[in-house]
Copies of this chain bind each other. A is one copy, B any other.
């Protein structure tokens, strides 16, 4: 079993660890210290060794920060985590504040005192984020000081887990679709076009994509933690812990790529003296900028040149994604069949649901990992957007309730992410009406055609308008980018209310996942992955329009759909989708499942 159901932290962490951190502050002569959630690699998911925020406070959310002063401390979380932070963090030690509204900058402005010195680890903060913090500290008359020895790490000491040393392996061209040499040549040209002589790459997903390698340093994502310096001629230096370098790797990388140790990175950056060096100020930490500028290099601030090419999957990656989704869809369909039959009477709990689904995926024989810990929310737990079942929160499903299951698998040929909401017993009229509103939003975003240059922000309203009309909404983004056997959350594209200037381009994979959540009662989400298709002419039209093709293949619970609320176009989409599901999944599954699937995919 890959997924566990334990709590990773508890409220005792603060009382145990805060005195140790304060002792380190005193030793270093600091009046305070900033603890961001982000680590050295600005990852979303962190290796255990870098869970500094959780170790210091007990809070395990995927975004947040803390400030520790000599006589007070605060933890900062966004709206998703206001309930969770109360359960996980001792309020006597940490004031809980809003991460977005004011956030750490406002706290510094209010709480720092004139003359105070507040430390930060320059490897953990991007220059963009640091700018605001420095202005706020200055308003209070305090200064921020970059420190070499992170006081949290010093306090953690020998109890701190080791940095991961998962082997880094070649990712064959049958999956990547393009040799690393070709990628390095064209990214090198892009670096030259941006006016730079070299680029420093620090995003693990960029390292993975550019060099066609995969690692296992971060749970649920095959990311290799490392850095690279790419020259405009396509040659590169790749900085990896030698313990992670597998025997096959040097030959696979070829003679244009020099392997080096992480402790050689600073010296290599200093060697860029006099050169123009591209670094992404939203992705790379202040340490890179400081080191390069002190060495006399000229920093060119520009987006990571791998980000867009990585997002636009090539034909091989799209074909791989389709194969992975056909395989994953069969596993999911077996699971949905189990939910619709045996489970309707045995009424499993969430842990059993998660275990059963994992077993079906594992049975494919080629599952590399889950894409993320499966969310299985029974009844009221389904309304907690970032829910993950633990032994403590585990609920048994009851008749008349909805079960929301959001899950995915990592396969060599692709990464999946799918949410289905299933009724147990007879759903209420309200559940059906609201499920149908969510479905109408989902279909609008699946069907839309749009001209080149359109962003995900521009399309977001399509998924929400049916809910808005009824005075309802959901408090999360509508769609995120997805990697190819890489992170399940991958930029730079995004479908959300928040403005995003990145246009959707052919080959980009995005999720389409509108939802509705009734606190204390139930949650609904319908999520498929879909990829952007090339602009194609439309009969009778004048302009080619991009569109989406759906990747995910699994039935949507028809017992929750009020068919007469759908327009003829929406009905046609749903029936065509279910016909596709039956055609691709039907031949893969056992006769009993196939019979059930045919019924689940019957036209409405």
Contacts and interface: CB of A to CB of B under 8 A. Distances in A.
Interface of A: 444, 447-451, 453-455, 457-462, 465, 468-473, 497, 499, 501, 537-545, 567
A541 to B, nearest CB: 2
Q: Specify which of A447, A455, A462, A540 lies most central, judged by the most chain B CB atoms within 10 Å of its CB.
A: A540
A471 B501 contact: no
A497 B454 contact: yes
A468 B545 contact: yes
Contact of A473 (B444, B459, B543): B543
A470 B447 CA distance: 12
A102 B555 CA distance: 49
Given A457-B499, A458-B460, A499-B501, A451 B473 contact: yes
A472 B567 contact: no
Contact of A471 (B453, B454, B462, B544): B544
Given A457-B457, A458-B460, A470 B501 contact: no
Copies of this protein in the assembly total 2
Q: Which 4 A-B pairs have the closest CB atoms?
A: A471-B541, A471-B538, A499-B499, A449-B468
A470 B545 CA distance: 9
A121 to B, nearest CB: 31
Contacts of A451: 468, 473
A172 to B, nearest CB: 39
Contacts of A460: 458
Contacts of A462: 461-462, 465
27 contacts: A447-B469, A448-B469, A449-B469, A449-B471, A450-B461, A450-B468, A451-B473, A454-B497, A455-B499, A457-B499, A458-B458, A458-B461, A459-B461, A461-B461, A461-B462, A462-B465, A468-B545, A470-B541, A471-B537, A471-B538, A471-B540, A471-B541, A472-B542, A472-B543, A473-B543, A499-B501, A567-B567
A468 B444 CA distance: 13
A57 to B, nearest CB: 30
A447 B466 CA distance: 11
Contact of A448 (B448, B468, B567): B468
A545 B451 CA distance: 29
A449 B473 CA distance: 11
A454 B497 CA distance: 8
Contacts of A501: 499
Contacts of A453: 497
Nearest to A453: B497
A182 to B, nearest CB: 29
Contacts of A567: 567
Contacts of A465: 444, 448, 462
A265 B455 CA distance: 45
A450 B444 CA distance: 17
Nearest to A519: B542
Nearest to A458: B461
Contacts of A469: 447-449, 538, 545
Contacts of A457: 457-458, 499
A583 B468 CA distance: 29
A453 B475 CA distance: 13
Contacts of A450: 461, 468
Given A451-B473, A471-B537, A473-B451, A458 B497 contact: yes
Nearest to A447: B469
Nearest to A568: B567
A538 B497 contact: no
